Amino acid sequence: MFSSSRVISSLLSWMLAAFSLTIAFYGLANVMPAIGDFRLGPFPLVEFRASFFALCLTTIALGMVQQYIKGKTHGLHALISLALMMVMLYCCWSFYQVSSELDDGMFLFGANEMWIAVLAASGALYFCWRVWGIPVALLGVVGIVYMATGEYWPEPLQTVRHDVHETLAQNLLYSLDTGILGSTFAIVITTVFPFIILGAMLEGIGAGDSMIRIAFHWMRRTAGGPAHAAVLSSGLFGTVSGSAVGNVVGTGVITIPMIKRRGFSANFAGAVEASASTGGQIMPPIMGAAALVMADFVGVNYMTVIVAVLVPSIAYYASLFAMIVFESRRLGIQASETVEGVDVPVKQDYLNLMLIFVPLAIIVCLLLYGLSPSGASITALAALFPLSLINPEIRAKPIKLLQSLQVGGRTFAGLLMAIAAVSIVISALSATGVPVKFSVLLSSIVSDSLLISLLLAAFCCIVLGMGMPTLPAYVTVATIAIPAMEQLGLAPLTAHMFVFFIAVGSAITPPVAIAAFAAASISGGGPIGTSVQASKVGIMIFVIPFTFAFNPLLLSVAQSGVPFELVSWLWLVIKLVVGILLLATALSGFHAHKLSWLEIVGRLMAAVMLFAPGVIWDQIGATFALLLWIWHLRCDIKIIQRLKGVE
């Protein structure tokens, strides 16, 4: 006999699946291009946003109840979730009614609308707290308080007097431009949503295991072996998932134990996986949700973003390979032909790679043709359904396709709660004029120092990125800091790309590094130790943004603010490669043999000179690096001769 709790849990699972599938199909229908006379969407904006948000919050609330039945959360949270769900469903209905009246003419906002808006925002922040933790939700709380009490704050944060009823009602809920159902919400559901569903499909069709087996097979002759395989597989997997933590969990359970068995420490094993997984968000063509939003913010097509990020992303993964090489040398780890615990790939594994590369190729080709990102991703998704039958596991259980859509729906419902919190912050900033004030204040403090402005923006990104997804961190900092960065001469694309990279890197930055913490839970290493090690292994994700901020040519597109010149671009790439080797050897403390502290300091100085703007610094840095290299090789020759003399 089944217990009542198991029956209820099963019913909730089916309800969650139904709601998740409804989110997936309803959302895709709204952004799906018309095929001849056939059209499911788009639906009217007011109707669609209200109903879509209602579906997402219902999915989250029922998920909380299911967690309580399984004993994973307190009953009070489940009760509050159900109560807030009912309240917020009424708020969605109120949004629909009031917004419809606004279309017909003027509407006077009173205390009733204000409290409904506050309730809707509070419910969204509660669900955000339960899904993403306290940091993201706290930002939203501060935004609401600031909107309501800004006129009483000290200068320079003080705002002008305003009607609190109208300000809170409009900027929290009743607007298609601001608030939790505003323009940011629109960008995410029309641009990011199809990619979330596509990523869930690509993860669920069974190509991940094949990719890991192939990566281990290809990297078997390198000393790093499993560590290099983790970088390769996480890079490929990350461009599909776009989630650092999801990438760690998806590939780390296999790669991290293998890296430890090769002889690396638990902290280093977790750091490699966390750094490689984090880089998936900057790996084209899909990248993470923040990259899609960035294209809309900057006003460029998504293909421009892909081209701009190509060299920096390849350089980042090359730096991970280099760090592993020199760490292997330092530990004296030798290559091994066999990898225990991983099967040799068979023909089916290589066929399964088509399930990843064909959809990615479709997206790139359609973007080049001029199709929108959402149109390209939906086309790739449509092609993936018949293509998935290549995998015998899918042919045996086609239901896995629907299960993947369900996972995508639930994933997006959770993401939308974070977007609601960020939308509140953005509304508070725009309503109170903080970005303009911050820009003026920053300009007065730093005068014409671009470096200080970039350091402040990077600090804000890292602080805001602690414990929260990349997208909220990026959007919040972009709203505040980028106007000041543009005033100091950065092109919009370059400024946004800088913030995007640092926001991605916050996932491995202590003290709250969510990707490193996830990796530490698998490796058995210390969370802080793993995050410190990850920051060292993935150091280039922080260095590269400063490099292209001072040398925008590295982004390879005209929108970077600098016309493309092949010779200058090649010189930049060469400097980047040399800089990567200098940093990798310095941070590992090993090259051909152990480095002295003077050599380590010298290599770090040479790397800084190479990355700094200006021909003179280039020449000094290149000369210094060459002298250090020659000196090290000369010492290495002497060591070899001494050993031969002993023999």
Question: Average pLDDT in the 278-295 region?
Answer: 83
Instruction: Give 342's pLDDT tier (boundaries 50, 70, 90).
Output: low
Instruction: Give 80's pLDDT tier (boundaries 50, 70, 90).
Output: very high
Helix 354-369 / helix 373-387 crossing angle, nearest 10 deg: 150
Closest CA to 488 of 540, 446, 517, 539: 446
Could you report the per-residue pLDDT of 541-575, keeping only the tens digit for each? 999 999 999 889 999 898 988 888 888 899 889 98
Kindly list the distances between the CA atom of residue 443 and the CA atoms of 13, 419, 426, in Å, as whole numbers in the listed order.
Answer: 53, 29, 21
Could you report the per-residue pLDDT of 411-460, keeping only the tens digit for each? 888 888 888 888 888 888 777 776 666 666 665 665 566 787 788 878 87
**548 or 344, which is more confident:** 548
Each domain of the chain, given as residue ranges in start order, spans 565-647
Can you give 436-462 as a three-state secondary structure string?
Answer: HHHHHHHHHHHCCCHHHHHHHHHHHHH
Residue 625 has pLDDT above 80, yes or no: yes
- Model pLDDT, residue 2: 47
Neighbour tally for 564: CB within 10 Å: 12
Could you report the per-residue pLDDT of 208-256, keeping only the tens digit for each? 777 778 887 787 777 777 888 888 877 777 666 667 777 787 778 788 8
Closest CA to 479 of 527, 449, 437, 542: 437
Q: Is the peptide bond before 359 cis (omega within 30 degrees of 0)?
A: no
Residue 146 has pLDDT above 60, yes or no: yes
Tell me the helices (H) and strands (E) count for the chain, helix number first. Answer: 29, 0
Cα 310-311-312 angle, rounded to 5 deg: 95
Q: Phi/psi of residue 590, each to 5°?
A: -150, 140
Which residue(s) pair with 35 in the sheet? 38
Question: Average pLDDT in the 196-209 region?
Answer: 79
Question: In the chain, what is the straight-line distance between the N-terminal and C-terminal CA atoms, in Å?
Answer: 78
Can you give 349-374 as a three-state secondary structure string?
Answer: HHHHCHHHHHHHHHHHHHHHHCCCHH
Q: Phi/psi of residue 382, each to 5°?
A: -65, -40
The whole-angstrom separation of Cα 496 and Cα 460 is 14
Q: Phi/psi of residue 140, each to 5°?
A: -65, -40
Q: Which residues, at least 6 apart from 89, have a Cβ–Cβ distance to it below 8 Å?
A: 54, 57, 58
Write down the mean pLDDT value for the chain. 82
Q: Are 80 and 126 within 8 A, CB to CB?
A: yes
Helix 399-432 / helix 164-172 crossing angle, nearest 10 deg: 150
Q: Are 161 and 2 within 8 A, CB to CB?
A: no
Element (H, E) at 564: none
Closest CA to 227 of 564, 7, 533: 533
Residue type, 517: F
The whole-angstrom separation of Cα 447 and Cα 455 is 14
Question: Rounded to 10 degrees, what is the CA torsion of 145, 149, 152, 153?
Answer: 30
Residue 483 has pLDDT above 50, yes or no: yes
Q: Which residues, at least 6 apart from 35, have a Cβ–Cβ distance to it below 8 Å?
A: none
The DSSP code for 38 is B
Structure tokens at 302: 């998504």
Query: Which range has the top average pLDDT, 48-57, 224-233, 339-348, 434-443?
Result: 48-57
**369 or 578, which is more confident:** 578
Instruction: Give 407's pLDDT tier (boundaries 50, 70, 90).
Output: confident
- Model pLDDT, residue 36: 45
Instruction: Give 38's pLDDT tier (boundaries 50, 70, 90).
Output: very low
Residue 6 has pLDDT above 70, yes or no: no
Question: Of the given ranges (150-154, 181-185, 447-451, 468-472), which has the lowest mean pLDDT?
Answer: 447-451
Q: Are 248 and 274 within 8 A, CB to CB?
A: yes
Closest CA to 629 of 609, 647, 603, 607: 603
> Backbone dihedral region of 561: left (phi > 0), alpha (psi from -120 to 50 degrees) or beta?
left
The whole-angstrom separation of Cα 244 and Cα 468 is 11
Using a pLDDT cut of 70, give the percent of the chain over it. Answer: 88
The whole-angstrom separation of Cα 414 and Cα 469 is 11
- Model pLDDT, residue 1: 41
Q: For the chain, what is the largest distance between any 2 Cα atoms, rounded to a whole number of angstroms?
A: 95
